[in-house]
Amino acid sequence: MEPQLGDLYDMMQYHGHEMDMFFNANYNVNEKLSFFAEFSYLKSNEVMDHIDIDLSQINNQSFTHVLFDPMALEYLGEYSRLDIEQIIEKYGVRYSLNDNWYVSGTLYHYKYDDNHPYILDGTGEIVGFIGGVGYKF
């Protein structure tokens, strides 16, 4: 059985700041044609620190099931540090062919910046288009 690192009573602090913004606009040109735009922004910076784990229970035992050295407590908080920025943009159009059928299209842009990658860097960007035909009942 693998040794346990820490328990419910170990003290640590987790704090941070988050900012979210969202904007949505719709414009109906006429009964058949409409446009829309959506924009959202997220910035989050979170960190765990002041970790107080009793290392006397470890005694240099093997921790093969974890990806860090528990004896190096000053780095333990880095596993939970979060510093990200995310932007999502969508622009679309919808055109009614008649009372029931319509066509639509959406251009989207997703951007994610991982400003503090530790094990895996999730930074990336996606641009795409979705088109469709719909029927209203």
In whole angstroms, what is the distance from residue 77 CA to residue 14 CA? Answer: 9
**Cα–Cα dist 91/119, whole Å:** 34
Q: Is the dihedral of CA 7, 8, 12, 15 positive or negative?
A: positive
Closest CA to 120 of 76, 67, 45: 67
Q: How far apart are CA 24 and CA 108, in angstroms?
A: 14
pLDDT over threshold 80, residue 93: yes
The whole-chain average pLDDT of the chain stands at 83
**Is the confidence at residue 67, as pLDDT, over 70?**
no
Backbone angles phi, psi at 118, to 5 degrees: -120, -65
> Tens digit of pLDDT for each residue in 74-84?
666 666 788 99
Overall pTM > 0.75:
no
